[in-house]
């Protein structure tokens, strides 16, 4: 699946000179002795988060010269692609989570169940809050020092400040969210089956509204529809006729990040299935009983009663990251930017560009910043050669010509074009886990690279760097559409839709589960569902 970009994993070194790692003197490092009695100072790596990027980093990390400490509010890894299947009981929540304590023990890492609420990069400290409100010391807050901080905290659902969403809608981001949705769906059917209700009341209770036609909203709608058709029809036959699913999307089409053939197939299928698909409709408010939408063309606002709303309109940065971005001069950005080695010091470049709201850069300054960009984004030069980034190409031309000054505004525009082209990787599990693996490999090779600092040649032909920059490899995306049909978009513009792709989906996701334990649990859940149907109890 493709997801809008938001979450980033980065290695945060407070270095200014472009080296990968710089350690402070007041280091919290542990000291250990080697067999021949030599003292080794271990650097402390603090990892925030145990999700896709954090877990991948930890499982590939293999360098005994670091002391690794993990801080995350959840002590498990969650296989999010199967979360929609938990909402209707196709798969159990525990089947898609992997406790991280096992990995901690195996690798000799430390884990603290807490949330980081503030990053203090100048003092190399994080401020944390534990979930435990009954701490013996009477405090649930503490500070932790680090030499290197790996930020892998993911993102939070984005409500665009729509009134009433936080209070009345369900989100689908964590295991708890999926379990709440599952309970809520069943409760709607139990409530609608109570005696002495009018037809209108039953219709209201059984009106399920899904907001957001992206991969998660579409998959959830499809799962819910399957549940209604395959199980509810047998379990609640008297109220089945009152059920309705509405899928609201503000854009022109659903699944707009996929190939047009997939979008068209999905829209037709949903219409055939009786899912009420309303595109060009923006939600403007949610109350306890009604959801209000505004049609994009006419501007007409319509309110409809509902029984349950699931909100899935994308993701945004977490407050701790927003605060951190303000501290490092990225306050104007939507997501945290890193350089190609997933380090935070790209901020320095944007800092330079932000030095004046208006005004000009002289030729020397301009050349310096462009050189900086080319060093940090080696592909920029390749793009320039292919004339893909015309703005920068033109700017470079004029910088080499007679012009002595350039407008900072024009320069900023060109920079943001570079930023968009270079950095906008989709916020998917695929990207996150590849980033985690890449970063762990950098750590694993650290000593070797320090002994031989020239490292691999940079492919831009000038200068050297110890590590190859991060490169994302896209292996394809899936969009399950219900009724044992899935759309698959694979590299090379290859699109496949139907039952055969569903089998490909089963095999890919079974293979991607992180352990044999979860793999066997999920496969047995699928088999159980085929034989006995879904469990409709609301425990």
How many Å apart are CA 380 and CA 396, to the nearest integer?
Answer: 12
432 touches ligand FAD (CB under 6 A): yes
Comparing every residue's Cβ against ligand FAD, the nearest one is 51
Which residues have CB under 8 Å from 459's CB, separation 6+? 378
- Helix and strand numbers (H, E) in the chain are 19, 25
Continuous segment of H or E residues that includes residue 143: strand 141-145
Per DSSP bridges, beta strands 141-145 and 125-130 are antiparallel
Contact indicator for 506, 485 with CB cutoff of 8 Å: no
Select from 85, 162, 246, 428 the one that contacts ligand FAD (CB under 6 A).
428
Pick the stretch among 47-55, 261-269, 375-383, 385-393 that binds ligand FAD (CB under 6 A). Answer: 47-55
Neighbour count for residue 167 (Cβ, 10 Å): 9
Contact indicator for 245, 213 with CB cutoff of 8 Å: no
Select from 116, 119, 335, 521 the one that contacts ligand FAD (CB under 6 A).
116
Tell the smallest beta-carbon distance from residue 187 to ligand FAD (Å): 21
Contact indicator for 352, 372 with CB cutoff of 8 Å: yes
Pick the stretch among 46-54, 324-332, 365-373, 410-418 that binds ligand FAD (CB under 6 A). Answer: 46-54
71 touches ligand FAD (CB under 6 A): yes
80 touches ligand FAD (CB under 6 A): yes
50 touches ligand FAD (CB under 6 A): yes
Please give the structure tokens belonging to residue 198: 């009018």
Tell the smallest beta-carbon distance from residue 498 to ligand FAD (Å): 18
Is the four-CA dihedral 220, 513, 77, 342 of positive or negative sign?
negative
**Nearest CB to ligand FAD, comparing residues 217 and 378:** 217
Report the phi/psi class of residue 313: left, alpha or beta, with left for phi > 0 and alpha for psi in -120 to 50.
alpha
Select from 318, 343, 465, 466 the one that contacts ligand FAD (CB under 6 A).
318
For residue 31, what are the β-bridge partners?
Answer: 41
Across 205-268, the runs of DSSP E, i.e. the strands, are 207-211, 244-248
Select from 45, 58, 97, 172 the one that contacts ligand FAD (CB under 6 A).
172
Pick the stretch among 205-213, 407-415, 425-433, 492-500 that binds ligand FAD (CB under 6 A). Answer: 425-433
Neighbour count for residue 252 (Cβ, 10 Å): 11
How many Å apart are CA 375 and CA 462, to the nearest integer?
Answer: 9
Pick the stretch among 45-53, 292-300, 352-360, 485-493 that binds ligand FAD (CB under 6 A). Answer: 45-53
How many Å apart are CA 291 and CA 302, to the nearest integer?
Answer: 8
427 touches ligand FAD (CB under 6 A): yes
84 touches ligand FAD (CB under 6 A): yes
83 touches ligand FAD (CB under 6 A): yes
Select from 5, 7, 379, 434 the one that contacts ligand FAD (CB under 6 A).
7
Q: Which of 183, 266, 186, 300 is nearest to 232 (CA)?
A: 186
* Terminal-residue alpha carbon distance, the chain: 30
**Nearest CB to ligand FAD, comparing residues 51 and 482:** 51
Select from 81, 212, 314, 482 the one that contacts ligand FAD (CB under 6 A).
81
49 touches ligand FAD (CB under 6 A): yes
Select from 11, 43, 44, 51 the one that contacts ligand FAD (CB under 6 A).
51
338 touches ligand FAD (CB under 6 A): no
216 touches ligand FAD (CB under 6 A): yes
**Nearest CB to ligand FAD, comparing residues 430 and 502:** 430
Tell the smallest beta-carbon distance from residue 320 to ligand FAD (Å): 5
Provide the binding-site residues for ligand FAD, judged by CB under 6 A. Answer: 1, 3, 7, 48-54, 71-74, 80-81, 83-84, 115-116, 152-154, 172-173, 216, 318, 320, 427-430, 432
């Amino acid at each position: 699946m493709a997801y809008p970009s938001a979450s980033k994993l980065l290695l945060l070194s407070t270095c200014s000179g472009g080296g990968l790692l710089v350690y402070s003197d007041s280091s919290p490092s542990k000291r250990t002795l080697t067999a021949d009695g030599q003292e080794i100072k271990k650097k402390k790596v603090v990892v925030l988060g145990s999700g896709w990027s954090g877990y991948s980093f930890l499982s590939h990390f293999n360098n005994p010269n670091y002391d690794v400490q993990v801080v995350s509010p959840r002590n498990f890894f969650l296989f999010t692609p199967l979360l929609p299947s938990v909402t209707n009981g196709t798969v159990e929540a525990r089947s898609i989570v992997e406790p991280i304590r096992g990995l901690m023990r195996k690798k000799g890492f430390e884990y603290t169940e807490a949330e980081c609420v503030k990053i203090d990069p100048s003092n190399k400290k994080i401020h944390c809050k534990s979930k435990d409100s009954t701490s013996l010391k009477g405090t649930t807050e503490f500070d932790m020092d680090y030499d290197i901080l790996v930020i892998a905290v993911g993102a939070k659902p984005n409500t665009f400040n729509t009134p009433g969403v936080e209070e009345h809608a369900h989100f689908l981001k964590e295991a708890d969210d999926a379990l709440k949705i599952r309970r809520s769906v069943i409760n709607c059917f139990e409530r609608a089956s109570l005696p002495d209700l009018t037809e209108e009341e039953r219709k209201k209770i059984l009106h399920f509204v899904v907001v957001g036609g992206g991969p998660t909203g579409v998959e959830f709608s499809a799962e819910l529809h399957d549940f209604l058709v395959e199980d509810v029809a047998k379990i609640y036959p008297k109220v089945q006729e009152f059920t309705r699913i509405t899928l609201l999307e503000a854009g022109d089409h659903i699944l707009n990040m996929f190939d047009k053939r997939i979008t068209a197939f999905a829209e037709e299928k949903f219409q055939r299935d009786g899912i009420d698909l309303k595109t060009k409709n923006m939600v403007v408010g949610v109350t306890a009983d009604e959801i209000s939408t505004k049609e994009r063309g006419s501007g007409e606002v319509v309110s409809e009663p509902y029984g349950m709303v699931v909100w899935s309109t994308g993701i945004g940065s977490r407050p701790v990251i927003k605060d951190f971005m303000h501290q490092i001069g990225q306050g104007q950005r939507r997501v945290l930017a890193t350089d190609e080695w997933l380090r935070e010091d790209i901020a320095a470049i944007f800092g330079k560009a932000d030095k004046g709201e208006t005004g000009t850069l002289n030729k020397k300054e301009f050349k310096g910043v462009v050189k900086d960009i080319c060093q940090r984004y080696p592909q920029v030069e390749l793009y320039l050669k292919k004339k893909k980034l015309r703005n920068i190409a033109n700017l470079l031309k004029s910088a080499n010509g007679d012009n002595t000054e350039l407008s900072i505004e024009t320069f900023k525009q060109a920079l943001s074009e570079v930023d968009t082209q270079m950095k906008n990787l989709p916020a998917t599990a695929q990207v996150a886990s590849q980033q985690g693996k890449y970063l762990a490999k950098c750590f694993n090779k650290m000593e070797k690279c320090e002994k031989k600092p020239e490292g691999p040649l940079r492919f831009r032909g000038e200068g050297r760097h110890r590590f190859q920059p991060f490169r994302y490899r896209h292996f394809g995306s899936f969009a399950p559409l219900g009724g044992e049909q899935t759309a698959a978009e694979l590299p090379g513009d290859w699109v496949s839709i139907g039952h055969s792709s569903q089998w490909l989906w089963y095999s890919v996701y079974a293979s991607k589960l992180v352990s044999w334990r979860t793999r066997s649990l999920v496969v047995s859940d699928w088999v159980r569902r085929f034989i006995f149907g879904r469990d409709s109890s609301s425990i």
